[in-house]
Amino acid sequence: MDIETIKLIPRPQTGKGVSRKLRAKGMIPAIVYGPTTEPMPVAANLKEVEKIAARTEEKKYVHLIVEDHSGRTWEGTSLLKDFSVHPVERKILHADFYVIDKGRKITVDVPIKLNGEAEGVLAGGELQQFKRKVRITCLPDKLPAKIEVDISKLKVGASIRVEDLPVPEGVVIRERGDQSVVYIAPTRATLKSAES
């Protein structure tokens, strides 16, 4: 498991004014929490968080070191569970670090990656993707970076639902199985070819 270390500083004050001052220094507000960890408001280096957030193909594990002004330190392994992004500037505004216990299951959203080109699209159909993430529960060491699904055999009118997603052993999907993930919609071109 590739784990990067990030040093955080405690953030005794919260609010928009404090957040603005942090961002002016290249820092962002963040929170550290977990099943056995009291929530800790902290400040993190923006560039370090962006580097971890950019790891789309990897699990976003991070070793955290929180050092307060008196020199006391707290350390733990966490998962960059979530982060919010500015809608225009696309900069990360806030991050959530979830402290993991290797023996305790976690529930997170993971991306869905579509592989291949659907037969139905090649025949003139339109690919419609309704879900880009799915919520799963598993032990931290079983956490997949993404759920990959092969769509190459999908014909016009066919779909893949949540219950059809291939998940690794030890991973449980926490969403309704009848939800559509992807659908190959008929178009005028496919309807005309069906008529002739």
- Nearest by Cα to 47 from 33, 65, 31, 28: 28
What pLDDT, in 10s, does the model give residues 107-129? Answer: 888 889 999 999 999 999 999 99
Q: Per the structure block, which two tokens stand in for 140?
A: 């931290």
Question: What's the CA gap between 73 and 64, in Å, rounded?
Answer: 10
Asked if the 107-195 domain carries CATH number 3.50.50.60, the reply is: no
Answer yes or no: is pLDDT of 61 > 90: no
Question: What's the CA gap between 14 and 44, in Å, rounded?
Answer: 14
Question: What's the CA gap between 65 and 57, in Å, rounded?
Answer: 24
**pTM of model > 0.75:** no
Region 166-181: what's the mean pLDDT? 95
Question: What's the CA gap between 133 and 110, in Å, rounded?
Answer: 5
Question: What's the CA gap between 62 and 77, in Å, rounded?
Answer: 6
Region 163-182: what's the mean pLDDT? 95
Mean pLDDT over the full length of the chain: 86
**pLDDT band per the 50, 70, 90 thresholds, residue 2:** low
What pLDDT, in 10s, does the model give residues 149-162? Answer: 999 999 999 999 99
Answer yes or no: is pLDDT of 14 > 90: no
Q: Per the structure block, which two tokens stand in for 139?
A: 């032990």
pLDDT of the residue at 147: 93
In the chain, the percentage of residues whose pLDDT exceeds 90 is 43
Q: Per the structure block, which two tokens stand in for 40?
A: 């800790």
pLDDT of the residue at 59: 64
Amino acid at 188: R
| Residue spans per domain, the chain | 4-101, 107-195
**DSSP string covering 61-102:** EEEEEEE-TTS-EEEEEEEEEEEEE-TTT--EEEEEEEE--T
With H, G, I as helix, E, B as strand and everything else as coil, classify residue 176: coil
Homologous superfamily assigned to 4-101: Ribosomal Protein L25; Chain P (2.40.240.10)
